[in-house]
Amino acid sequence: MAKGFNKGPSMGGGGMMQQLQRMQQQLADAQEKLADETVTATAGGGAIKVVMTGDQKCKSVEISADLLKDADAEMLQDLVLSAVNMALDQSRELASQKLGPLAGGLPF
């Protein structure tokens, strides 16, 4: 065998694998918890409310009945779009805060 390629137990490779496995499990656990957390974004002074999970799944969209009386379709679409985008931004920030230390700053 060529020199430098003997990676037996005495080389410490097993400890690194165990550490990587622990980190992988911690990351999986954090991702699972993140799916249970939610963020809420509003638009139009609270007339539109979007609730999203930490793993970017939209849980609900609420539209005020008062807004439906007076709103035109284009304004309503703009408000919903704005609230969804704000909720996505908040969800990504939550994921970054929760997973960033475990993933070494990888984007989510």
- Half-sphere exposure of residue 55: CA atoms within 13 angstroms, side-chain side: 9
- The answer to the question of residue 53 being in a domain is yes
Q: What is the CATH number of the domain that holds 33?
A: 3.30.1310.10
Residue 19 lies in a domain: no
User: Does residue 80 belong to any structural domain of this protein?
Assistant: yes
The single residue listed with the structure tokens 């390629």 is 5
55 near 43, Cβ under 8 Å?
no
Structural domain total, the chain: 1
Residue 50 lies in a domain: yes
Distances (CA, A) of 52 to 3, 34, 44, 72, 92: 55, 11, 18, 25, 10
In a domain, 33, yes or no: yes
Range(s) of the domain holding residue 59: 29-99
Q: What is the mean pLDDT of the chain?
A: 82
pLDDT score at 58? 94
Structural domain contains residue 22: no
Answering whether pTM is above 0.75, one says no
Overall average pLDDT of the 89-108 stretch: 76
pLDDT at 46: 93
Q: 37 in a domain, yes or no? A: yes
